Amino acid sequence: MTSIDWDALREVAKKAMAHAYAPYSKFPVGAAALTEDGRVVSGCNVENASYGLGLCAECGLVSNLTMSGGGKLVAFTCCDGNGNILMPCGRCRQLLFEHSAPGMVLETVSGFKTIEEVLPDAFGPRDLEAFNK
C-alpha cells in the first residue's frame, strides 16, 4: 500500500469542493480518497431542486472510483466550503464501506478512525460472500 499523504489528500478534496453544485444549501462539500493501487479519486456534492435527489460528495467519489478502474479505498477525507473536515453521514459511511479495503482510514472530526470504527458491525459485500460459500 502507498503511504498516505493526508495534506495532499485534503488538497484534492478542497479542489473537488470548488466544483460542487450547491445552490440550495450553499454548503459545498469535497471528498478525496486513496486507492490500494495509489490512485486518488475525488467527488463533490451535486444538489437538485428536488432536495432528496441531491448527491453527496461520496457518491461522486465512488462513481469516479468505478469509472477509473475500480479497486478498494484505503484512506478518505472530506471537507466543507471552509476546508474543515467533515464526517460522512450514515448513508455515505455505508457507501464507503462497500468500496473500502478492510481497515480503510478516514480523517474525521475526532481524528483518524477506521471504517469499522465509524460503521461498527456493518453489513456489506463480505457478508454476502461468506453467505454464498
Looking at domain 6-131, which CATH architecture does it have? 3-Layer(aba) Sandwich (3.40)
Residues 106 and 78: their CA atoms lie apart, in Å, by 9
Percentage of the chain beyond pLDDT 70 is 98
Tell me which of 11, 47, 58, 116 is the catalytic residue. Answer: 58
Confidence of residue 7 (pLDDT cuts 50, 70, 90): very high
Predicted confidence (pLDDT) per residue in 53-91, tens digit? 999 999 999 999 999 999 999 999 999 999 999 999 999
- Residue 73 in contact with residue 96, Cβ under 8 Å? yes
Domain boundaries defined on the chain? 6-131
116 catalytic per annotation: no
